[in-house]
Amino acid sequence: MLLKQCYNFHDFRKLARKRLPGPIFNYIDGGADDEVTLRRNTEAFNQCDLVPRVLQGVKDIDLSVDVMGTKLQLPVYCSPTALQRLFHHQGEYAVAAAAEKFGTMFGVSSLGTVSMEDIAQQFNTPQVYQFYFHKDRGLNNAMMERAKASGIDIMMLTVDSITGGNRERDLRTGFSIPFRLNLAGLWQFVSKPMWGINYVTHEKFSLPQLQAHVDMGGGTSSIGDYFTNMLDPSMDWDDVADMVKRWDGQFCLKGIMSVEDAKKAVDIGCTGIVISNHGGRQLDGSRSSFDHLAEIVDAVGDQIDVLFDGGVQRGTHVLKALALGAKAVGVGRMYLYALAAAGQPGVERALTLMKAEIERDMRLMGCHSVRELQRNHVRFR
């Protein structure tokens, strides 16, 4: 299968599976425990039907949205994800370049394999930095200062990961960070020559935080162990309120899954929240992100920008989330499979297809602008 034969999420996933060693593919693909929430995230969209209007004279379509002080030309953005250069040597550079081309934003992960400074200098996209709150307060302060100095527009603190989710696929495959070739997995790597050549012929990345983990005796471990050992489980609302004050700019909490927490985010001065369950990778058995969307928008949507991610594979999923009041919609695996499949051209093709789907669906819904999408455009079963 070739890139040009990819027409949807499932095609990119197939191609990524072919190209990546098993442990790496499963790291992207998997979720926590029995992966109930992972599946639910996408299934939830099927409980909600679109209600089209006809004869609306739809010629031009405006896909732009205003999010946390910046304008996006596409209502879809690339959610922050870790370790991208492990999936393809172009990693974050490819995703940032594609996001720039589509006029949307891309979040650099705290566990990114390219520095926030490099991305900020090279790309003219709204700059988002995803923050993990570490036990080491000095490291937290240093990361905040670096983010300020490099002109980050939106600080996005992930709050659903104070300990590692139970990702059993990673335990079975032996996926570890820093990444090591072990004997058991050697065949996997030999059998994926495209990935192997890419990996050995390009400059290796290093992650300072991961090195600190190794230096502290953590050695190589699953990503879940990294969270558990390095991130601060005692983080509370006071810590976050303090960060919001010190940041003094656009500040967003990623991983809000209740009305109560959404209201607290408003109270401490956040300017945005992302309804997200980390793509089903943390607490299994929680509701889908989509199931929370309407009630959270109803509670705080007029006071804070509500963003949304989890399970998005299709343009129609994006339309449903926007109709319920999301300001913009994040995608994770959708662009990661495309990155793994083909680097920058892969991510660009994934976003091209997504944009075309949204435009087509908007016409079929009789909408001129994504801002026109309202509750009367959907019905729940």
73 Cβ contact list (under 8 Å, min separation 6): 63, 64, 102, 103, 104
Residue 28: CB minimum distance to ligand FNR, A:
4
84 Cβ contact list (under 8 Å, min separation 6): 91, 92, 94, 95, 109, 112, 113, 114, 336, 339
Reduced to 3 states, what is the DSSP secondary structure of residue 182?
A: coil
Cβ–Cβ contacts within 10 Å for residue 365, how many? 21
Q: Is position 272 an interface residue for ligand FNR (rule: CB under 6 A)? A: no
Give me 102's structure tokens.
Answer: 């589509």
End-to-end CA distance of the chain: 37
Binds ligand FNR (CB under 6 A): choice among 26, 81, 221, 288? 81
- Regarding beta strands 48-50 and 378-380, do their DSSP bridges make them parallel or antiparallel, or are they unpaired? antiparallel
Pairwise CA distance, residues 105 & 250, whole Å: 14
The residues annotated with a catalytic role in the active site are: 278
Residue 82: CB minimum distance to ligand FNR, A:
4
Cβ-based nearer residue to ligand FNR, 228 or 369: 228
Reduced to 3 states, what is the DSSP secondary structure of residue 37?
A: helix
Structural contact between residues 243 and 253, judged by C-beta atoms closer than 8 angstroms? no
Query: Scanning residues 98 to 117, which ones bind ligand FNR (CB under 6 A)?
Result: 109, 111
Does residue 178 have a cis bond before it (omega within 30 degrees)? yes
Residue 55: CB minimum distance to ligand FNR, A:
35
Is 289 annotated in a binding site? The answer is no
Q: Residue 35 region, left (φ>0) first, then alpha (ψ -120 to 50), else beta?
A: left
Is 282 annotated in a binding site? The answer is no
Structural contact between residues 277 and 257, judged by C-beta atoms closer than 8 angstroms? yes
Binds ligand FNR (CB under 6 A): choice among 26, 41, 113, 250? 41
Cβ-based nearer residue to ligand FNR, 158 or 367: 158
Pairwise CA distance, residues 13 & 335, whole Å: 10
Q: Is position 68 an interface residue for ligand FNR (rule: CB under 6 A)? A: no
Is 80 annotated in a binding site? The answer is yes
Binds ligand FNR (CB under 6 A): choice among 224, 332, 343, 346? 332
Total residues found in the chain within this entry: 381
Binds ligand FNR (CB under 6 A): choice among 67, 230, 331, 339? 331
Binds ligand FNR (CB under 6 A): choice among 178, 311, 325, 343? 311
Residue 376: CB minimum distance to ligand FNR, A:
27
Cβ-based nearer residue to ligand FNR, 27 or 199: 27
Q: Looking up tokens 């720039």, which residue turns up?
A: 100
Is 104 annotated in a binding site? The answer is no
Q: How much is the CA Rg of the chain, to the nearest whole Å?
A: 20
Binds ligand FNR (CB under 6 A): choice among 92, 284, 309, 361? 309
Q: Is position 164 an interface residue for ligand FNR (rule: CB under 6 A)? A: no
Is 98 annotated in a binding site? The answer is no
| Part in contact with ligand FNR (CB under 6 A); list of ranges 136-144, 235-243, 308-316, 364-372 | 308-316
Extract the annotated binding site for glyoxylate.
27, 132, 167, 278, 281
Write out the residues near ligand FNR by the rule CB under 6 A. 27-28, 41, 79-82, 109, 111, 130, 158, 254, 276, 278-279, 281, 309-312, 331-334, 336
Extract the annotated binding site for FMN.
80-82, 109, 130, 158, 254, 276, 332-333
